[in-house]
Structure 1
């Protein structure tokens, strides 16, 4: 970036700021006047990354040249060029490192290899809870460009993809970040970070850091705004100072908030996107209408071979759950036992890192989906009746609305007892 002298009112020369990150730029799209993140508190979201790059490359784009070298030149002097764009996101207990673009050129006695990998969009990330106390509400985003021309043992661009593949192969990703899975997400993010830092130990490095409050999150044209990243590559891979050529833009942001992990209804304001409603109250009602006891109890909290991965298995292995089963048979203390039983379910679920709304759904699912004494009317038990009655009411209202639907609408007749 050239330096231009500007004259102040006192005649003094003022130098125009120097661009110290010519290969990358960062733009904050979360402007205060359009802030719409008030529904994140107590709700879940997930990382989202999308780009404006055409999948085909586009007909109007210039092609980055692939200049071949003669065999004799390659045999005498091996050449490696690698450039990588990565974003690292930390929010609360959740961490993720995502390579967005990897560009490489190996030229040696074995031949020539051009390696170009672009991630156009990334959304398969676990949900995490933005807690009501404000924790996990300020994401930290690090945008990094790392490049080298001196990696000699193997192409760094290829090695980045290998490292990313190894991190994915070390275990399946959990659906939601909880106390059981948070360390795994951190370990994977740091493994990719370490691999990239070692691969690009010499060359050029650029970083942009930003902390943004989710309350400032905003939406534009039916999709969230965020940290907008622009990536450039040098026009001559032998010269870092050559004129940068734009590759494209990526936006790092977070999905619309949702009140539950058990149903994908989101709070989207005026958006017409599918499975979206205007406010939290409507979203919670839709979740209650759609949840099923079996699906809730079989929801996997921790992927992998761990047999305690489902909600059902996790709860049934707790000492207090086992102790409650014979205590239910004592009719003089059955209601007291049931009340404490529902409290313990809530405490256990919120202790995992889920919200109170989902803990109530689990209470409802346990009572309707696990073997418990029929002699106890849980709908009359102090610490159990609220979620049972609320969910039952919402399901009943939904069924009545469906029954009143105009001719041609689909009606579903229940063939089994309605849940409590």
Structure 2
């Protein structure tokens, strides 16, 4: 018996040799790029031509009398769920719908060719967040509960997106809202189906042994999924034909969430202001372009809703306000301890949110440079541990 699947997964080989810790302590993000069978490609003569193997899904109406006697409806959705640490996100990659009844014919096809909306997340040094989970799900049905499936799903996803925007970086302040949005998107897909065909593929991708391969960054930790569907919508008995492949990989690692600087392959670093060969050189390049006002204005949780900036988060911490009177103490020991306590608390709290130690020190630097009502750079005692935390950052 031949088992016909509509989803075919091809995990990329992951070579662990001599690559442990290569991107530990940096940020990366998921990237999705589609390659549809119908996409035109240059042939040997340079002319654009559709590749062999793919067949078009035609917009082929039925006779009016057939529609009057027998209404027909089909719906298909192909989606990706991404989970890492406390973050969860659903991306709808393909949605098709067809209604053929007494009201006429209606086709709806929504395809995502690429998706870079996923937030950055920290690949921790202890490896705790270096294994993101990817779940690909296909649901297809000839009958469903909602008229106009594709339109209804599109509206539901737009509503969810308006209620919650994905954060720039995965952090504990934004995790609950992201999970609620993912659950709403998944529910919208599920509830619009009755009895249906469901295929689900799940893979965990370990980022610890990855290398910076190009042209698709960290491609060896990625995965390719191929989607096949019947040429005649809803005809599940027919041999399915390829629709396209979606390549899921990870972006070049970033030393800091506050900068566009990345760790790139050596061939990409020449003449680029945003590429560095390694983390140390990357951090140096990040430091040279820092602006305290931009760091303080960085959104930890995006709008709509009560957006929280780095500055707002710092001002909400009780130890920030309680430290201010101690900075003016005439007792040198009390004054030194107050500065050291503040600095350690700031860095520790930023790391607890889900950012790295380098960004914790950048936030501390921005506090000293951009929030003079709390502390100023020139007032920090030279013999304090604060000064050591600010080494390598602008004076």
Q: Normalising by structure 2, what TM-score?
A: 0.88
Q: Distance in 1 between matches of 2:207 and 2:19?
A: 9
Q: Does the 8 Å CA contact 1:81/1:106 hold for their aligned counterparts? A: yes
Query: What residue is the counterpart of 1:155 in the other structure?
Result: 148
Distance 1:378 1:77, change over 3 A: same
Query: What residue is the counterpart of 2:81 in the other structure?
Result: 88
Distance 1:240 1:34, change over 3 A: farther
Question: Which of these residues, 252, 256, 262, is aligned with residue 256 of structure 1?
Answer: 252
The answer for unaligned runs of 5 or more in structure 1 is 4-17, 393-419
SS in 1 for 2:10: strand
Q: Does the 8 Å CA contact 2:37/2:50 hold for their aligned counterparts? A: no
Q: Does the 8 Å CA contact 2:146/2:152 hold for their aligned counterparts? A: no
Distance 1:370 1:55, change over 3 A: farther
Query: What residue is the counterpart of 2:14 in the other structure?
Result: 31
The aligned runs of 1:57-96 (5 Å cut-off) are 59-60=49-50, 62-96=55-89
Query: What residue is the counterpart of 1:6 in the other structure?
Result: none
Matched, 1:317 2:316: yes
Matched, 1:247 2:243: yes
Query: What residue is the counterpart of 2:30 in the other structure?
Result: 47
Q: Does the 8 Å CA contact 2:136/2:201 hold for their aligned counterparts? A: yes
- 1:158-197 Cα offsets, whole Å, 9 max, x none, are 2222221121011332211211101111111111112212
Query: What residue is the counterpart of 1:222 in the other structure?
Result: 215
Query: Per-residue deviation at 1:36?
Result: 5.2
**Structure label with greater radius of gyration:** 1
Q: Does the 8 Å CA contact 1:35/1:218 hold for their aligned counterparts? A: no
Distance 1:327 1:55, change over 3 A: farther
Q: Distance in 2 between matches of 1:34 and 1:64?
A: 45
Query: What residue is the counterpart of 1:391 in the other structure?
Result: 393
Q: Does the 8 Å CA contact 2:224/2:248 hold for their aligned counterparts? A: yes
Matched, 1:234 2:236: no
The answer for unaligned runs of 5 or more in structure 2 is 42-48
Q: Distance in 2 between matches of 1:35 and 1:201?
A: 50
State how many pairs are aligned.
Answer: 376
Of structures 1 and 2, the one scoring higher in RCO (CA 8 A, sep 6+) is 2
Q: Distance in 1 between matches of 2:138 and 2:227?
A: 8
Q: Does the 8 Å CA contact 1:34/1:218 hold for their aligned counterparts? A: no
Matched, 1:181 2:174: yes
Distance 1:378 1:120, change over 3 A: same
Q: Distance in 2 between matches of 1:375 and 1:88?
A: 44
Query: Per-residue deviation at 1:222?
Result: 2.1
Q: Distance in 2 between matches of 1:55 and 1:68?
A: 21
The aligned runs of 1:78-227 (5 Å cut-off) are 78-151=71-144, 153-224=146-217, 225=219, 226-227=222-223
Query: What residue is the counterpart of 1:396 in the other structure?
Result: none
SS in 1 for 2:312: helix
Q: Normalising by structure 1, what TM-score?
A: 0.83
Q: Does the 8 Å CA contact 1:85/1:102 hold for their aligned counterparts? A: yes
Name segments (4+ residues, structure 1) moved above 6 Å. none
- 1:343-371 Cα offsets, whole Å, 9 max, x none, are 11112211211111100111111111111
Query: Per-residue deviation at 1:293?
Result: 0.8
SS in 1 for 2:390: helix
Distance 1:373 1:346, change over 3 A: closer
Cα root mean square deviation, aligned: 2.3
Query: Per-residue deviation at 1:331?
Result: 2.5
